[in-house]
Amino acid sequence: MALDYHQLIADLIAGKIDQLSVPPADFMAFRDIWQDLPQRKEIIGNAQRNGTIIYHFNVSGNHQ
């Protein structure tokens, strides 16, 4: 079962969490939400060897 990525992404953007780890099995659920965000270019992912992607929010000042 996929996590509530709407809430987790909102927490990431708000600074409530520093990073968000997305396992390969949940990537499409995460992507479906991420692609509709105006801040998607500020959500930066770093792929790990096991297929997990760790995302962080890069504050650029372009979006609120």
* DSSP string of the chain, one letter each residue: ----HHHHHHHHHHTSSS-EEE-GGGHHHHHHHHTT-TTGGGEEEEE-TTS-EEEEE---SS--
**pTM for the full predicted model:** 0.85
Tens-level pLDDT at each residue, the chain (64 residues): 568 999 999 999 999 999 999 999 999 999 999 999 999 999 999 999 999 999 999 987 555 4
The domain segmentation of the chain, as residue ranges, is 5-57
Can you give the pLDDT at residue 62?
A: 56
Q: What 3-state DSSP class applies to 28?
A: helix
